[in-house]
Amino acid sequence: MLYPGALWRLNRSDKVVYLTFDDGPTPEVTSWVLDLLDEENVLATFFCLGKNVEAHPTLFKDLVQRGHRIGNHSYSHRQSFQTSTHIYVADVENAAKFIESKLFRPPYGQLGFRSFFKLRKNYSIVFWDVLSEDYNPDCTPEQVVDNVMRFTRPGSLVVFHDSVKAFPRLKMALPEVIVRLKSNGYKFGVLPI
């Protein structure tokens, strides 16, 4: 209701889940995630930071060539509520120089209304309905798995992070989540453009 037209969840009648990864590409982590997804025959959507794409163009190209969907996660991961609309939108547009995508996910899930209405003219604004909390050092990998399994339902958009900060939990939780979702009859999709 607050963000008309924003994506929180997709088709609720199909048993499809949408794995998404924020903050990459990160050499120490993204390559591992890509290899795991290949092994499991799973495609995902990666919301990339422009500064990381600029720093790691070969890794970003690999991500795209493996068939994953990409989205814009801003250039420098600013907090919308602490940044003027002009500067925030300019940061997103700066990322667009490196990331050709009409999908945008706001860092921290924060998006001021002025920024939302400006950005939705050119982007599909993507939030989520399941937050893994893999970024939280107070969570155990088991809690990350539980967060995903407890709240995932048909059409869920699940957030993970391909970042160094999240990796200690991600590397243990992600393989388990994929196995459990498959055993529960879920298929995996990428977000529509």
Query: Which tens digit of pLDDT belongs to each residue from 32-48?
Result: 999 999 999 999 999 99
C-alpha–C-alpha distance, residues 129 and 157, integer Å: 6
Summarize the confidence of residues 119-144 as an average pLDDT: 98
C-alpha–C-alpha distance, residues 171 and 11, integer Å: 28
- Respond yes or no: is residue 161 known to be catalytic: yes
Mean pLDDT of the chain: 97
Q: Residue 145 corresponds to which amino acid?
A: V
- Band (pLDDT 50/70/90 cuts) for residue 2 is confident
- Residues of the chain with pLDDT > 90: what percent? 96
Q: Say whether 83 sits in a helix, a strand or coil.
A: coil
pLDDT of residue 182: 98
Write down the catalytic residue from 56, 68, 77, 161. Answer: 161
Write down the catalytic residue from 14, 22, 23, 134. Answer: 22
Q: Say whether 124 sits in a helix, a strand or coil.
A: strand
DSSP code for 161:
E
- CATH code for the structural domain at 16-188: 3.20.20.370
- Band (pLDDT 50/70/90 cuts) for residue 187 is very high
Q: Which residues contact 88 (CB under 8 A, 6 or more apart)?
A: 74, 78, 80, 112, 115
**Domain layout of the chain by residue ranges:** 16-188
Cβ–Cβ under 8 Å, residues 27 and 167: no
- Distances in Å between the Cα of 86 and the Cα atoms of 82, 100, 110, 115 are 12, 21, 15, 8
Q: Residue 159 corresponds to which amino acid?
A: V
Global pTM value: 0.97
Q: Say whether 59 sits in a helix, a strand or coil.
A: helix
C-alpha–C-alpha distance, residues 55 and 143, integer Å: 32
Burial class, 58, CB count within 10 angstroms (exposed 0-12 / middle 13-18 / buried 19+): exposed
- Respond yes or no: is residue 22 known to be catalytic: yes
C-alpha–C-alpha distance, residues 71 and 127, integer Å: 12
Summarize the confidence of residues 103-110 as an average pLDDT: 97
Cβ–Cβ under 8 Å, residues 127 and 3: yes
Cβ–Cβ under 8 Å, residues 157 and 18: yes
Summarize the confidence of residues 168-184 as an average pLDDT: 98
pLDDT of residue 1: 66
